[in-house]
Amino acid sequence: MRKGPLLGVLLSVFLCGFAPAEATIRVNVENPANGQDLSGIVTISGWAFSTLANTNVTVTLTVDGDPNKTAPIPCCGPRGDVQAANPGAPANSSFGLLFNYGILSAGPHTLRIDVTAPGEPAQSVQVTVTVAKPGDAQVLSNFTIPSGATVAADANEIVLVGAQVTPQGGSPTTVNLRAAYATNLQSLVIIQAFAGTNAQLFNAAQAIFTTRCGIPSCHAGSTPAEQQDLTAANSFKNIVGVRSVENAALLRVNPGDDDGSYLYQKIIANGNIAAGTTRMPQGCAGSNCLY
C-alpha cells in the first residue's frame, strides 16, 4: 500500500524535529598576540568550547607545522566572563600552557592551536611570533646589569647595552637587549637580543675612530668634544645606547636602528642633525669622508 501525502508530511516533521543539533567549536587565542615578540617562559592561553552541551574539547599546540613539535594544552578551567559574553557557553572554557620560548631558535615561528571535539569539525587558530634569546640560551641561570652597562629609552622601548647573562650550565656572556611592555601579557618583554660589542664589526669602526675622531682636541682627552670619547676602550660605552648631547631625543648609536642613530646622521651626507651643528668629521664633504 502506498503512503499517502499526509503520512509523508507527518514523517518528515517527526524526523526533522528529532534531528541531532549541529554543534560548532568556538576558540579564541588571547596570548600570544599575532606578530608578537617574545622571550623566556610565557603562557599560551585563551578559551574554547563546543556549542553542544556537555561536550568536552581537546586543545593541542603545534609549532612550525612540525608533527614532532606538538603538545597538549590543558583545558578547561573556569571563565565566567566567557560564559557571560557567550550565551550557552559552559562555565569552564579556559586553556593555558606555560611554554619556554627558549627551546626555539631566535627568529620567527608559527604556533597553531587546534581544538577538537567528538564528531565535530576541528577549529584552528594560527599566530606568528618572533623569539629573542639572550645569550642564545634555553634557560638563564643568572642575569646582571654591570656598572658599565647603559640603559636608555627609545620611544616605548628600553635599550640595555652591556647586560651580562649566564646560560644554564654555561659561561657568562655580554648581550645588548631591547624590551617593551606587552599589555596582553601585562609585563615587560625582551623583544630583541644581540651579542655584546660585536667585536668583528666594532673593531673596524674603532680603527676609523682612532684615525679620524679620537684625536687630541677632538673626541679624546679629559674633556672630549660633546662629552663623546671615541678612543679605543672608551668609544663603545660612550656611544651605544647613550643619548646625544646635541640632540637628546636620539641615541648616538641606537642598536638595530641606523636611521635613528645620531652618530650615523652626523657622518652621512644630508644627515638629520641638530640645527647649527657641523657634519663630522670636521671638514667633511662628499660621501666618503671616513675613508
pLDDT tens for each residue of the chain, 291 residues long: 444 554 444 334 334 444 444 569 999 999 999 999 999 999 999 999 999 888 899 999 999 999 999 999 999 999 999 999 999 899 999 999 999 999 999 999 999 999 999 989 999 999 999 999 999 999 999 999 998 788 877 768 888 888 999 999 999 998 988 899 999 999 999 998 877 655 556 777 888 888 888 888 899 999 999 999 988 777 877 888 888 999 988 889 887 788 889 989 988 888 888 888 888 888 777 776 765
User: Can you give the CATH number for the domain in which 43 is found?
Assistant: 2.60.40.650
98 is written with which cell numbers?
606555560
The answer to whether position 144 is within a domain reads yes
User: Residue 239: helix, strand or coil by DSSP?
Assistant: helix
The domain total for the chain is: 3
Cβ–Cβ under 8 Å, residues 89 and 49: yes
Give start and end residues of each alpha helix (H) in the chain.
5-17, 80-85, 199-208, 235-239, 262-267
**In this structure, are strands 75-78 and 92-100 parallel, antiparallel, or unpaired?**
antiparallel
Last residue of a domain, one of 78, 97, 131: 131
Residues 94, 174: one domain?
Answer: no
Residue 165 and residue 255 share a domain: no
In a domain, 111, yes or no: yes
Residue numbers of the domain that contains 43: 25-131
Q: Are residues 124 and 138 in the same domain?
A: no
203 in the same domain as 177: no
Q: Are residues 181 and 204 in the same domain?
A: no
Pairing of strands 173-182, 187-195: antiparallel
18 occurs within a structural domain: no
pTM of the model: 0.71
- Asked if the structure places residue 49 within a domain, the reply is yes
Residue 97 belongs to some domain of the structure = yes
Reduced to 3 DSSP states, what percent helix, strand and coil does the chain have, rounded to the nearest 5?
Answer: 20, 35, 45
Contacts of 219 (CB under 8 A, 6+ apart): 209, 213, 225, 226, 228, 229, 230, 231
Same domain, 30 and 94: yes
Q: Which of 204, 234, 231, 206 is nearest to 217 (CA)?
A: 231
Answer yes or no: is 273 within a domain.
no
SS3 157: strand
In a domain? residue 163: yes
